Amino acid sequence: MLSVIIPAYNVENYIKRCIDSILNQTLKDIEIVIVDDGSKDKTSEICEELTKKNSNIIYKKVKNSGCSAARNFGLSLVKGKYVAFLDSDDWVDENMYEEMVALAEKETADIVICGFKKLDENKKLLSKVEIPKRMSKDDYIDSTTEWFSSPCNKIYRKEIIEKNNIQFLLDIYTGEDMFFNFMCFFFSKKVVSIDKPYYNYFMNSASVSNNYKNRTDIYLVIDELIAFYKQNGVYEKNIDKVRECFKYHGIIYPFDVLQRLSENKVEGWKKFYSKIKEEIDRFEELKTFEIKLCYYFRIFRLKMMGLKKYKKILTRK
């Protein structure tokens, strides 16, 4: 009935919790596909041991090629009517998949979305993300929300993915999930949601300085999104959705990252700033007056950060 794909790489501290959360589901007709992306720690040993004990687990170890490649390989193996994705350091509530599959069957839906919880290392609840019910499929295509981009709080009818040859973008490390969803939602006929936070998202405490350099990949994703809509002859119809994506993911979020980099005096942040400006300037056709205003306000706010040190000097007694 349902196949769950887990890409895994060096997650020895979390992978058993992740897999156990599927084994303990109230829905029993579940196929678990683990794609070990060349782990070098004890992840492989843990997965192999669990596979020996559970006949519904398919475990494959591949050469390290990234999360997208692992997910795509997993898609080539699955046999379920529905497909789900689970990140290897996260876990799901025990009734998540039963309720989502039941709703998909009842509503003849191609995609079902649920809410999620954000938790820290000690499973302390940091926040909940809810999914308000929307009237149509197009209303759910909202890249300004926290729940749209991830594939992990959703189940998909496999037929939609296979029929349209939908895959994750390779060698892209920011926004590849979101582009996958744009394609899946486009080809789906019906999308529904459950306003319950069944998915548990582990908030890794890694510093922003360790991952900010891949943030410019988002502009490659926007290029792909524009090309996708143009190829399907619906670009003008969907240009507002592209603009929303550009504003939120191409301007607001990257500048929020820049703000934190500047505050923390992370080396090389000014080169990152120059790269972002260079990329944003390419998308002139997307720049409405509102988007330009947002862009220049973010630049102004960032430059004001540099004046803080002078304020401290001037006000020092």
Residue that has been written with the tokens 């060096």 in this structure: 10
pLDDT at 265 over 90: no
Report phi then psi at 173, rounded to 5.
-120, 5
Six token digits for residue 34: 């683990």
CA atoms within 13 A on the CB side of 228: 23
- pLDDT score of 212: 67
**What is the overall mean pLDDT for the chain?**
92
To the nearest 10°, the Cα dihedral for 77, 90, 250, 181?
40
pLDDT at 259 over 60: yes
Give the N- to C-terminal CA distance of the chain in Å, as an integer: 71
Domain range list for the chain: 2-202, 208-308
Six token digits for residue 148: 């749209």
| Percent of all residues in the chain with a pLDDT value above 70, rounded to a whole number | 93
CA distance 207 to 212: 9
CA atoms within 13 A on the CB side of 161: 23
Assigned fold of 2-202 = Spore Coat Polysaccharide Biosynthesis Protein SpsA; Chain A (3.90.550)
- pLDDT score of 221: 97
CA distance 71 to 24: 23
Asked whether the beta carbons of 188 and 141 are under 8 A apart, the reply is no
Strand 111-119 and strand 2-8: the pairing is unpaired
Closest C-alpha among 287, 253, 257, 284 to residue 272: 257
The whole-number average pLDDT for the span 191-217 is 78
Strand 154-157 and strand 82-85: the pairing is antiparallel
Six token digits for residue 77: 């193996």
pLDDT category, 205, cuts 50, 70, 90? low
Six token digits for residue 269: 């942040």
- pLDDT score of 306: 62
Helices (H) then strands (E): counts for the chain: 13, 9
The whole-number average pLDDT for the span 20-29 is 97
| Greatest alpha-carbon span in the chain | 72
Apex 161 CA angle, 27 and 248, nearest 5: 95
Q: Computed from CA positions of residues 77, 83, 87, 88, in that sequence, does the dihedral angle turn out positive or negative?
A: negative
Strand 111-119 and strand 125-129: the pairing is antiparallel
Q: What is the pTM of this model?
A: 0.92
Question: pLDDT (tens digit, 9 = 90+) per residue, 149-184?
Answer: 999 999 999 999 999 999 999 999 899 999 999 999
**Element spanning 228, H or E:** helix 217-231
Closest C-alpha among 222, 201, 185, 2 to residue 109: 185
- pLDDT score of 92: 97
Question: pLDDT (tens digit, 9 = 90+) per residue, 75-129?
Answer: 999 999 999 999 999 999 999 999 999 999 999 999 999 999 999 888 889 999 9
Secondary structure of residue 245 in the 3-state scheme = helix
pLDDT category, 267, cuts 50, 70, 90? confident
| CA 19 vs CA 54, 70, 88, 134, 250: distances in Å | 11, 16, 8, 32, 34
- pLDDT score of 143: 96
